[in-house]
Each structure stands twice: as C-alpha cells, then as structure tokens.
Amino acid sequence: MSISTERGDTGETSLPGGARLSKADSRVDAYGTIDELISSIGLARALCPNPEIAAAAKSIQKELFKIGSAIAGPRTDLKPEVQIDDAMVESLTQEVHRIEATDGMLADWALPGEDAASASFDLARTVCRRAERLAVRVSTEGTIIPPNVLRYLNRLSDLLWLYGRLIELEKNIDSKLRTNDGPRWSRAW
C-alpha cells in the first residue's frame, strides 16, 4: 500500500467513513486547517524551552485529531462518533486561569517576534482562530458539529496566546505592543 493512492488527482477526497467530496469543500478546508494547527503546535513544541508547556502542547495535538474528525462529519458505519466532551474544554479553561494568575503575566496586546518559541505559539494561535472561523462556517452551512468543538478551539486560541506570554515572562522578555501605561486593550484574543 502506498501513500500515493491517486484517488485525489481529480480534486476530490474521501471523508472518514468513505464519502467523497471536493477538496474545495468547506469541511475539507476546516479539517485541513486543523491539520495545519497540529503541525504549527508541533513547531512551537519543538522550540519550547518549558517542558511542562511542551508536554501540554503534545497532549493538545493528540486532542486536535479528534476535533478534525468531528469536523469531517458525523458518525457512519465505518467511522465511530467522536466524543468532544466538556472535560476537554474544562481542562483548557483551567490551564488558561492558572496561567492568567501568574505574577507578572502580560495583560495587554503583545507584539509577536521577540522570541522564536513564543512567536511560534502566536502563529499557532492565528491558525487556531482561522480553524475556528472555518468550523463556524461549516456549521452555518448545515453540517452538524459538536458544540464543544467551537468551545475547544476558542479556549485553545486563548491558551496558545498565554503560552507565548508565559515563555516570554520566564525569559524576561518584554513583548508588549504599547510603551505607555494607558488603559488595557485586552488580556487575550
């Protein structure tokens, strides 16, 4: 068996479960962006100096395979239903709150690029936001997506932003966008 099946040469692909559809379909775009997100988090993890963040990122990558499968479509005889449960979302929420409570955590906009590891988490965050927008589009077009998929992606983008800020804090890097002490714009994205 080869990775090159040639079945996609006409611009179609197979969903889990066997259904064929255009590679331009919004579902393919959405779960393809989840694949991109998994890879971007992999790059961030490879550059990450904090072993706890790296381990959490690896766990998130594995969960994102479930998210991609849930976006690809509903259960069929060939594909069991994917469970995206409240506990997955709650775990991300707890991690967000834990990091937000860290003394010295940036509570304003950040300018990505002061550090390669933190910038890679910022890039992963933007891919996550795009994946979230595409999942919303798929949902509005009529494909039923488990509600926790959108909650998970929304929470994950916050967490990825915070991972970047935590890495900068640990390295004593100032990435805040503004130099004045005016009102805060936002704690996260």
Instruction: Note the pLDDT tens digit of each residue in 6-62.
Output: 655 656 666 666 677 766 688 888 999 999 999 999 999 999 999 999 999 999 999
Architecture per CATH, domain 23-71+84-102+109-170, reads as Up-down Bundle (1.20)
Q: Are 139 and 90 in contact (CB under 8 A)?
A: no
- Domain layout of the chain by residue ranges: 23-71+84-102+109-170
* Neighbouring residues of 174: CB distance < 8 A, sequence distance ≥ 6: 114, 168
pTM: 0.86
Q: What single-letter amino acid sits at 14?
A: S
The residue among 107 and 15 whose pLDDT is bigger is 107
The average confidence (pLDDT) of the chain is 86
